[in-house]
Structure 1
Amino acid sequence: MQKPIALITGPTSGIGKVTALELAKRGFNLILLARNAKKADELQMEIGDQAETSFVECDLSSLESVKRAVEQVKSNYSRLDLLVNNAGLMMSHGEMTQDGIETTFAVNHVGHFLLTTELIDLLAAGKDARIVHVSSGAHQMAKFRTDQLVHPEKFSTITTYANSKLANILFSNELAERLQAKGITSNALHPGFVASSFASNTSGLANIIMFLAKPFAKSVQEGARTSLYLATSPELLTVTGKYFDDAKPKTPSKEAQSEVLATKLWELSEELVKDYRPAKA
């Protein structure tokens, strides 16, 4: 039997690394999409002969980089059985990408939007394909205005991050609706507050919150538990459009359930990535 193929973003540290190592143990071959070639090489060495692995270099803050990564994946693979949108960041200051998009939103949502939507054909060719989105309970703190996501008038570490995590859930829900006929599921999750290097470069209130919460944090192994549950559990074979916390379905915020916001976000995202889609024949 052919091994299932999983692509995971942000696999070289934190819960992403644990997820990659566990998927390899559970019989998946892996496509490791990351920025750092050295760290990816170290991860491949650690996985060893448990699985076939390939590294695809990609900076999710650059739509051109995402486009190249998609082309590389499509040239080497004819199917994909699992996509884990795990990579994410929290910025301590406002910054714009070369595409003119606020960096947190660009990495946590827009880059993943282009990657995911361009890989739908490979997922459709896979067996019981799943898309897993690592969101956060921080989405509850969002102040979500679609006209403020790309060029926010005021930057706030926590609000900007929360908005991007709400976008993850809205994107997951919209995908679930659009892909149901193709047999592809899409679900989002909160990994919990995890003791990892994530958000280690924050400052101000966000840094204080992180410091105070550290003693109560989950291990990276515990943090990866829900990602792995959504990726591999047989009981979730046909479950789609849900949000999970501690490997259990949970009701997200009212905004996260909004079909209107999901549609608006999709339309905005399509506008942002349109120049990076391949020309239609």
Structure 2
Amino acid sequence: MRRTSTTDMAGRSVLVTGGTGGIGKATAVGLAKLGANVAITGRDPGRLEKAVREIRAAGNGKVDGFAADMASQTEVRRLVGEVLHQLPRLEVLVNNVGGYWNTRQVTADGLERTFALNYLAPFLLTNLLLGRLKECTPSRIVTVSSHVQATGRVDFDDLQGERDYSGARAYSQSKLATVLFTHELAQKLQGSRVTANALHPGVVSTAFGAEDPGAVQRLFLPVMRPFMKTPARGAATSIHVASAQELEQVTGCYFANSKPKKSSQQSYDNTVAKRLWQVSADLVGLESVP
């Protein structure tokens, strides 16, 4: 049955990763207000419980919380098991979780944290949830990228920044990777009634990068903060791409300010996208592809 309103999400089930604060929480609140049944993930159980209460108070639907450190592949796989057990339906997946680290950090899987959290986590999570999304069509995969994808380069010779690490370079690479992934995924899902789109939320005032800030965060953010978007405004594009009726069949696109726009030229390189997919599948131990 087709929805009759661009703002009617009643009865639809949505999972938002990184939903305990910032853009993720604002996205969950916005979708809950539209009537969606919302589930969020969060690393800290206390923050997760608090966010679930606040989202529940803002909306009319059911709200669930799943504790998971998305930088860990074991945690992502456990999360998928819990989601499939507790959520009989899943129509929208919002890959929102992300982070920035000025100094190189390594996850339990031996991977550079920025690449692992910002890119490999949504890659693995999306692939493992594709079966449920295909069962609940029309469904959508919405991945939060960034305008810095335009300056990114996928360095296959040093994906993990072992030889030469830069926080900014690792971040832009991870965000370009999410757009390449989205374009490749959209092609793989043609005809399935599952869409895949990426977006830039804008420059938003959040605690982003606070764990290990670089010079930009330390020196310029305090000055820039009054001119940055609020989390609610930053979430507007995610909410639009997740819910707008006119986007039900739109796939493989990149959005900013709730409008489609061209992403960087390198994000349309099919050869790079296919190579990145295979490398990623190997890194997460994913044998089958959609």
Normalising to structure 1: TM-score of the pair?
0.93
3-state secondary structure, aligned to 1:119: helix
Question: Shift in Å at residue 151 of structure 1?
Answer: 4.4
Hey, what's the Cα distance between the residues in 1 that align with 2:215 and 2:26?
A: 29
Find the aligned partners of 2:252 and 2:39 in 1 and give their Cα distance: 24
**Within the alignment, does 1:17 sit opposite 2:25 as a pair?**
yes
Tell me the CA shift for residue 46 of structure 1. 1.4
SS in 2 for 1:170: helix
Equivalent runs, 1:186-201 vs 2, <5 Å: 186-201=196-211
Aligned positions of 1:52-63 closer than 5 A: 52-63=62-73
Q: Give, as a single letter, the amino acid of the residue that structure 1 aligns with 2:17.
A: T
Which structure carries more helix by proportion? Answer: 1
Equivalent position to 1:28, from 18, 36, 41? 36
The structure 1 residue matched to 2:237, chosen from 217, 222, 226, is 226
Out of 275, 278, 286, the position equivalent to 1:264 is 275
In the other structure, the counterpart of 2:45 is: 37
Instruction: State the alpha-carbon separation in 1 of the partners of residues 175 and 221 from structure 2.
Output: 17
Alpha carbons 2:153, 2:176 under 8 Å: kept = no
Q: Distance in 2 between matches of 1:220 and 1:47?
A: 14
| Segment of structure 1 superposing worse, 77-86 or 182-191 | 77-86
CA drift of 1:21 comes to 0.7
Change over 3 Å in CA distance of 1:216–1:170 after alignment to 2: same
- Is contact 2:144–2:238 with CA below 8 Å preserved after alignment? yes
Q: Percent identity of the aligned residues?
A: 36
Q: Distance in 2 between matches of 1:205 and 1:224?
A: 23
TM-score (norm 2): 0.91
TM-fit CA distance, 1:212: 4.4
1:1-281 aligned at under 5 Å gives the runs 3-48=11-56, 50-201=60-211, 202-274=213-285
Deviations 1:204-258, CA, capped at 9 Å, x for gaps: 2454343443232111111011001100001101000000111111111111111
Q: Are the structure 2 counterparts of residues 75 and 153 from structure 1 closer, same or farther at C-alpha, using a change threshold of 3 Å?
A: same
Rounded to whole Å, the distance in 2 between the matches of 1:31 and 1:207 is 33
Alpha-carbon distance in 2 for matches of 1:178, 1:168: 15
* Maintained 8 Å contact 2:21/2:51: no
Letter in 1 for 2:273: A
CA separation in 1, counterparts of 2:151 and 2:217? 13
Deviation of the 1:150 alpha carbon:
2.6
C-alpha separation in 2, matches of 1:200 and 1:269 = 27
SS of the equivalent of 1:96 reads coil
* Unaligned 5+ runs, structure 2: 2-9
State the shift of 1:260 in Å. 1.1
Letter of the structure 1 residue corresponding to residue 184 of structure 2:
E
Instruction: Report which stretch shifted further, 145-154 or 182-191.
Output: 145-154
One-letter code aligned to 1:253:
S
1: CA distance, partners of 2:218 / 2:181: 28
- Counterpart Cα distance in 2 of 1:192 and 1:29: 26
